[in-house]
Amino acid sequence: MIAPGTAHQGVRLGRVSAEARAGYRISFRGRTGRLLADAAGLAVFALMAFPIYWMIATAFKPGRDILSLTPKWFPAPFTLQNFEDAIARPFFLDDVKNSVLIVGGTVLLSLALAFLAAVAVARFGFRGRTAFIILIIGVQMVPLNALIIPLYLMLDGVGQTDTLAGVIAVYLAVVLPFMIWTLRGFVANVPVELEEAAMIDGCTRVEAFMRVVFPLIGPGLVATAIFGFIQAWNEYIIAYVLLASPENQTLTVWLASFTTNHGPEWGPLMAAATLTGLPVVAFFLVLQRWLAGGLTAGAVKG
Amino acid sequence: MGAAITTRDLGPVLHRPRRRRFNHLPYALITPASLAMFGILAFPLGMLVWLSLQHYGLRELIAHQGTWVGLDNFRVTIADPLFQQVVVRSLLFTVANVALTIIFSTLIALLMLKVSRPVRTILMGGLIFVWATPVIVAIDIWQWMFDYEFGVINYLLTQLHVGNFIHHNWFDDPLQGFIVITVVTVWGAIPFVTITLFAALLQVPDDVLEAASIDGARPWQIFWNVTAPILKPIFLIVTSLSTIWDFGIFNQVYVLLNQRPSSDYFVMAVYSYRESFGVTQYGLGAAIAVVMVLILIVVTFFYVRQTLQTAEIT
């Protein structure tokens, strides 16, 4: 419940709290309403987060507790054996290295290219701008799964199947449209006057972009970097088709091939899944406060 | 448009030379990105169409040379009863999954406005965890949870007296299998859509909401008549993206069924993959992929038009 004074102040400042936006004061009166909403919120959280908890819990359980008809809710006798088994499997470290190289290459290259293109679209009216925008939107419409065949044949023709470079090139193209489109919104939000001031002070046009615009769109760069990271780290089908030899594969391909002839070994599989998910979550948590606003600030701008 | 006009008008003042000269800079800026997108996405798309008009099997793959067959691949594909089933199945799957994703995400986003701050932080944290979970990891988790013997879901359903789910194999019956696939897909899609909608809800102008509530509008009226129209572009974006993702679904089906899905589980992308890499009929696989893209173009036409319009305005 928000006090009338707060609400009034909120309006004056042009800021209405989240509660007021939801029509909270009207729909729920008093404590009960808030408690109901909180209970519902926690229930949603439990439903969404349980699978992740279950993965981690399973990963720390000894085998006999995993294969038990009555599930053990907590990994009470606690073991690291599953992790040791997972890491000891062939090609784990190779594939970790490959994933890191692919993600690093994709994120750095795509950020650079997307920033340049976003500046062009946001700051210049030029012949071909509309065509470029159509290209951006158009290629986003194409489902990657439909392109596997020609991509495979094309890269096969130039000897780039089973190489990390081929995969990076594909991921780069896949993440670029979204990145350009998002960064464009951020660049458009930086007042042109700032660049002009820098140019009057003696910067060239390019220097003005690099020294003024680039630092100011930090949140946009972070949001798009996270996007690129997740896409590249999580992608499966392209890596699965393009990378034939096990020492060249990525972590997701390694993970999907975990099942043995005797069916999956759930303990090591859940440990491996935890290890695969960990870097993304870590990357996310470090940068997440930039994110919620970041993604849509570009999108809402249109 | 404002920003662009200002820059262009000031351009001649800021640049010393008086004469209007051709500005190479924007072209230099977009060239690297254009090359990457064109070379890796647009060109293969053209190649896909070209391939779909060829007989392209294993021998042609080795020779790097297909045989022109015109529209034969499409004739064969469209006449194939399995293909017709696959199209219908993919469309139904897409409608169900997009609808469930949007409905749940909207409800959760609205709920996030009402809960107290700590609960909102917890909920947001949970969503981000799910969002960050790689899809292959998610598939493995759900596969384990739905395991017929030791899966926690069979246990819970039995305990809750929903029925006897002991040793129940969810993938024996394709309809139940697709329920599992839907659960995995929607669970994975909710965080992105919810967080996007929540962030958009926070950007709805305050005075409009205030005015509506002062005028005595009920909360659902405010949502339906004020919030929803303002959020229409965002709804369009998330609906279209969900449609593209769900219609092209591959991993959830292919990996959940241990990379050996039976034909009862074929959706467009899986079928196309099977025809190409399973039975090495790349021409037929390409034809299926072309049909898939064509259907998507029809379905997302309105989104593209809308986006282009906003792009022109800004």
Per-residue pLDDT of chain A in tens (302 residues, 90 and over written 9): 333 333 333 333 344 555 555 554 444 456 788 899 999 999 999 999 999 999 999 999 998 888 888 888 988 888 999 999 989 888 888 999 999 999 999 999 999 999 999 999 998 888 889 889 888 877 777 778 888 888 998 898 888 889 999 999 999 999 999 899 889 988 888 888 888 888 999 888 888 888 888 888 888 888 888 889 988 998 999 999 999 888 899 999 998 877 665 667 899 999 999 998 888 878 777 776 665 554 445 444 33
CA–CA distances in Å: residue B152 to residues A240, B68, B157: 30, 53, 9
Does residue A296 sit at the B interface (CB-CB below 8 Å)?
yes
| CA A210 to mean position of chain CA atoms | 25
The A residues from 161 to 190 touching B (CB cutoff 8 Å) are 169-170, 172-174, 176-177, 180, 188
Q: With contacts defined as CB-CB under 8 Å, which chain A residues touch B30?
A: 116-117, 120-121, 132
Query: Who contacts A233 (Cβ-Cβ below 8 Å, separation ≥6)?
Result: A99, A103, A251, A252, A279, A280, B134
- Choose among A141, A205, A301: nearest Cβ to B244: A141
Residue A74 lies in a domain: no
Do residues A131 and A270 both lie within one domain? Answer: yes
C-beta separation of A145 from A174 below 8 A: no
pLDDT per position as a tens digit, A24-43: 444 445 678 889 999 999 99
Question: Which residues, including other chains, have CB under 8 Å from residue A124's CB and lie 6 or more apart?
Answer: B4, B7, B8, B23, B25, B26, B29
Token pair recorded at residue A204: 């060239």
Instruction: Tell me if A18 and B112 make a contact (CB, 8 A cut-off).
Output: yes
Is B23 among the domain residues? Answer: no
- Residue A86's Cβ-side half-sphere holds a number of Cα atoms within 13 Å equal to 27
Q: What CATH number does residue B152 fall under? A: 1.10.3720.10
Give mean pLDDT in consecutive 10-residue pieces for chain B, a chain of 314 residues: 41 47 85 90 89 88 83 92 95 97 95 92 90 90 92 92 88 94 96 91 84 85 86 86 90 90 93 89 92 87 72 54
Residues A149, A258 within the same domain: yes
Query: Residue B234 is part of which domain span?
Result: 81-313
**Whether residue A261 sits in one domain with residue A214:** yes
In a domain? residue A244: yes
Report if residue B26 sits inside a domain. Answer: no
CATH assignment of the domain containing A168: 1.10.3720.10
Task: Return the residue of A nearest to B307 by Cα.
Answer: A302
User: For residue B150, what are its two tokens?
Assistant: 């030791």
CA-based nearest residue to A145, from A172, A174, A176 = A174
Q: Total domain count for chain A?
A: 2
Residues A39, A95, single domain; the answer is no
As a whole number of Å, the CA-based R_g of chain A is 24
| B52 at interface of A, judged by CB pairs closer than 8 A | no
Contact list, B111 vs chain A (CB under 8 Å): 37, 40-41, 44
Residue A143 pLDDT: 76
Contact B128 A128 (CB under 8 A): no
Helix axes B117-132, B174-202, angle to 10 degrees: 130
- Cross-strand partners of B68: B54
Structure token pair of residue B226? 């004020």
B56 in a structural domain? no
Number of domains in chain B: 1
Residue A65 lies in a domain: no
Report which DSSP code applies to A302: -
- Judging contacts by C-beta atoms under 8 Å, the chain A residues touching residue B23 are 124, 126
Burial class (CB in 10 A: 0-12, 13-18, 19+), B9: exposed
3-state secondary structure of A260: strand
Q: How many helices (H) and strands (E) does chain B have?
A: 17, 2
- Identify whether B52 is part of a domain: no
Angstrom CA distances, A181 to A224, A297, B240, stand at 10, 11, 16
Residue to mutate among B124, B136, B309, with most A CBs inside 10 A, is B136
Nearest to A49 by CA among B293, B129, B264: B129
Residue A294 belongs to some domain of the structure: yes
| H or E stretch covering A64 | helix A63-66
Residues A37 and A162 grouped into a single domain: no
Q: Is B277 on the interface with A (CB under 8 A)?
A: yes
Name residue B49's amino acid.
V
Strand extents, DSSP E, B155-313: none
Residue window 71-110, chain A: list those with CB within 8 Å of chain B: 71
Contact B120 A18 (CB under 8 A): yes
A98 three-class SS: helix
Closest residue by Cα to residue B150 from A273, A66, A77:
A66
Residues 212-241 of chain B whose Cβ lies under 8 A from any Cβ of chain A: 213, 218-219, 222-223, 233-234, 237
Residue A173 CA to residue B33 CA, distance in Å, equals: 8
Residue B68 dihedral angles phi and psi, to the nearest 5°: -70, 125
Helix (H) or strand (E) holding B67: strand B67-68
Q: Quick one: A166 and A270 in the same domain?
A: yes
Residues A175 and A29 in one domain: no
Non-local CB neighbours of B117 within 8 Å, separated by 6+ positions: none
Within this chain, do residues A244 and A186 fall inside the same structural domain, yes or no? yes
Interface of A with B in 35-64 (CB under 8 A): 37-38, 40-42, 44-45, 48-49, 51-52, 54-55, 58
Q: Determine the Cα–Cα distance for residues B157 and A278; give it in Å rounded to an integer.
A: 30
Residue B72 covered by a domain: no
- The predicted-structure confidence for A245-289, as pLDDT tens digits, reads as follows 888 999 999 988 776 656 678 999 999 999 988 888 787 777 766
Residue A100 and residue A20 share a domain? no
Q: What is the pLDDT of residue B311?
A: 58
Q: How far is A224 from chain B (nearest CA, A)?
A: 14
- For residue A100, tell me if it sits in a domain: yes
The whole domain housing A189 covers 89-300
Residues 266 through 285 of chain A touching chain B, CB cutoff 8 Å: 266, 269-270, 273, 276-277, 280-281, 283-285
Handedness of CA A8, A11, A13, A17 (dihedral sign): positive
Q: How far is B175 from chain A (nearest CA, A)?
A: 22
SS3 content of chain B, % helix, strand, coil (to 5): 75, 0, 20
CA distance A51 to A276: 15
Tens of pLDDT, residues B37-60:
888 888 888 999 999 999 988 888
d(CA B122, CA A243): 39
Note the pLDDT of residue A11: 34
Q: Are residues A226 and A93 in the same domain?
A: yes
- Nearest C-alpha in B relative to A7: B210
| Cβ-Cβ contacts under 8 Å, B120 against chain A | 18, 41
Instruction: Say what the pLDDT of residue A261 is.
Output: 57
Whose CA is closest to A183, among A126, A221, A225? A221
Domain presence at residue A23 = yes
One-letter amino acid at A292 equals A
pLDDT of residue A185: 86
Q: Do B244 and A138 touch (CB under 8 A)?
A: no
User: CA of A12: which chain B residue's CA is closest?
Assistant: B207
CA dist., res. A8 & res. A13, Å (int): 9
In a domain, B113, yes or no: yes
